């Protein structure tokens, strides 16, 4: 199979060279030569890496290749050394380029309920105005040669197809397996919300009666004197477990007694995947501990139905104004509790407090959460806006080869290299993110949030063509 691929590449190059030289050669005198400027279509450079005992020969094309293509199924390196029924690279509905609106923004295909929609999700034919290409500047073949100083023993042990610069939209229907090196950035943006219950909604999966928010439905408290107190159903649910917040002589306040208003929060993080037949990336430097602190420091109480010391219903004294006045005194305790709940939901051990002060323990929890590398399933990734000088696909015969410019070596077989090539924008509500972290286990399983569907790359009504 490898011989067939190499033979095909060589045949392609020779055919291209032959076609460019089929025109008659014309001799030029010195005067004519002085009037001519030009640049070779092909360049051949050699680079030696003594640490790997390899020579790298790069056959470059001084050209710009604008690509618009759809590949129904890209499967490379299936079976073999790494196990049956799996591939080094397995991507379905792969597109290079996109259909744009009149302003040049890529149009996102329709998704499923609850999935983000992308920058422009208007798929009407009247909105489909043009195409945006995936552009390769100076594409090249690079051959890794072992034993290059001896013609009798030299071997081609790897070939890389790349470009000096790759820029443009790339979209994926489903990424089942990835081999190579992949890095990028993640922007986590948490939207501000109002009237959010701290605990879970009664009757939902994983929500016990003890943890259920009082605001799972709307209700009214009849008062003997004055207008009745009307409480509205919460507009969202964080899903943390119930716990006592405050215990005074006349009133007790628990998390299930509150709805809150939150402010927006954001953080940036690194994405990295390196290896063979990967299905997940690890998001590091996400700053989950700092994010929880920021969210809690900006929250205010919207509704409160605290339990009175005597009787039932809601305490008539402790309203939102009083609760917000007490919030600075409660803030650190709430931050500690929320961080403990987040660690438990992510399947991580909660550090022992021991003799630490409340402030030092809160800082320890923050550092523990900040160090956590959040798993994220690659099959959630559909839109990539590539901007890379190292984009490429390689076929390697050795256990590992570090091609020139690569940050890390790639393994045996087929690999793809995407260094600093994309940005994942995760825009979601605090209720979805916290519920996925602390209640249903989606975050620990690699599905903290879904991402927008693939870009449209077909005019008309077809999703893929």
Contacts 24+ apart (CB under 8 A), 102-109: 102/127, 102/129, 102/130, 104/130, 104/132, 106/132, 106/169, 106/383, 106/455, 106/456, 107/455, 107/456, 108/383, 108/452, 108/453, 108/454, 108/455, 108/456, 109/453, 109/454, 109/455, 109/456, 109/463
Cβ distance 432 to 447 under 8 Å?
Answer: no
pLDDT at 37: 62
The model's pTM: 0.77
How does DSSP assign 399-440, residue by residue? Answer: EEE--TT-SS-EEEEEEEEETT--EEEEEEEHHHHHHHHHTS
3-state secondary structure of 9: helix
Cβ distance 290 to 267 under 8 Å?
Answer: yes
Contacts 24+ apart (CB under 8 A), 283-287: 283/186, 283/373, 283/374, 283/375, 283/376, 284/373, 285/370, 286/186, 286/188, 286/370, 286/372, 286/374, 287/370
User: Taking each helix axis from N to C terminus, what angle separates 320-345 and 288-297, rounded to the nearest 10 degrees?
Assistant: 170
At 85, which helix (H) or strand (E)? none
pLDDT at 39: 65
Name the region of 148 (left: φ>0; alpha: ψ -120 to 50; beta: rest).
alpha
Tell me the pLDDT of the chain (465 aa) as tens digits: 444 444 444 444 444 444 444 445 567 677 766 666 666 788 999 999 999 999 999 999 999 999 999 999 999 999 887 777 889 999 999 999 999 999 999 999 999 988 889 999 999 999 999 999 999 999 999 999 998 788 888 899 999 999 999 999 999 999 999 999 988 888 889 999 999 999 999 999 889 999 999 999 999 988 766 677 899 999 999 999 999 988 877 778 899 999 999 999 988 888 888 999 999 988 888 899 999 999 888 899 999 998 877 767 788 677 888 888 888 888 898 899 999 999 999 999 999 999 999 999 999 999 999 999 999 999 999 999 999 899 999 999 999 999 999 999 999 999 999 887 677 778 889 899 888 998 889 999 999 888 899 999 999 999 999
Angle at CA 313, nearest 5°, toward 310 and 315?
65
pLDDT at 425: 77
Sign for the pseudo-dihedral over CA of 103, 104, 105, 108: positive
């Amino acid at each position: 199979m490898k011989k067939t691929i190499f033979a095909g590449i060589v045949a392609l190059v020779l055919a291209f060279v032959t076609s460019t030289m089929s025109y008659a050669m014309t001799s030029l005198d010195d005067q004519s030569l002085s009037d001519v400027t030009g640049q070779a279509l092909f360049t051949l450079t050699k680079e030696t890496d003594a640490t790997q005992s390899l020579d790298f020969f790069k056959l470059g094309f001084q050209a710009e290749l604008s690509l618009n293509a759809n590949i129904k199924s890209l499967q490379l390196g299936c079976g073999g050394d790494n196990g049956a029924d799996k591939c080094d690279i397995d991507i379905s509905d792969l597109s290079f380029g996109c259909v744009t609106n009149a302003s040049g923004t890529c149009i996102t295909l329709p998704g499923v309920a609850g999935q983000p929609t992308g920058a422009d999700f208007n798929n009407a034919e009247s909105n489909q105005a043009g195409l945006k290409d995936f552009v390769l500047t100076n594409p090249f073949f690079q051959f890794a040669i072992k034993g290059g100083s001896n013609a009798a023993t030299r071997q081609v042990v790897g070939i890389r197809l790349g470009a000096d610069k790759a820029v443009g939209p790339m979209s994926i229907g489903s990424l089942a397996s990835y081999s190579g090196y992949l890095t990028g950035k993640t922007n986590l943006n948490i939207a501000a919300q109002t009237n959010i219950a701290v605990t879970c909604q009664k009757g939902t999966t994983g929500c016990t009666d003890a943890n259920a928010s009082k605001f799972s439905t709307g209700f009214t408290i009849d008062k003997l004197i004055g207008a009745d107190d009307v409480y509205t159903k919460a507009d969202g649910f964080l899903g943390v477990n119930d716990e006592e917040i405050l215990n005074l002589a006349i009133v007790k306040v628990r998390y299930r007694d509150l709805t809150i208003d939150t402010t927006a929060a954001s953080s940036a993080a690194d994405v990295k995947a390196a290896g063979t037949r990967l299905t997940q990336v690890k998001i590091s430097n996400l700053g989950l501990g700092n994010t929880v602190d920021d969210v809690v420091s900006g929250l205010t109480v919207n509704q409160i139905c605290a339990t009175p010391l005597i009787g039932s219903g809601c305490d008539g004294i402790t309203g939102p104004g009083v609760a917000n006045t007490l919030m600075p005194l409660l803030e650190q305790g709430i931050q500690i509790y929320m961080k403990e709940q987040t660690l438990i939901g992510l399947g991580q051990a909660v550090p022992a407090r021991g003799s630490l002060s409340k402030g030092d323990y809160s800082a320890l929890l923050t550092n523990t959460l900040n160090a956590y590398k959040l798993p994220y399933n690659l099959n959630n990734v559909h839109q990539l806006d590539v901007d890379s000088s190292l984009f490429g696909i390689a076929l390697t015969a050795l256990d590992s080869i570090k091609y020139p410019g690569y940050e890390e070596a790639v393994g045996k077989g087929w690999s793809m290299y995407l260094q600093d090539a994309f940005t994942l924008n995760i825009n979601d509500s605090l209720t979805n993110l916290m519920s996925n972290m602390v209640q249903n286990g989606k975050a620990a399983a690699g599905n903290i949030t879904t991402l927008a569907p693939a870009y449209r790359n077909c005019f008309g009504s077809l999703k893929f063509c």
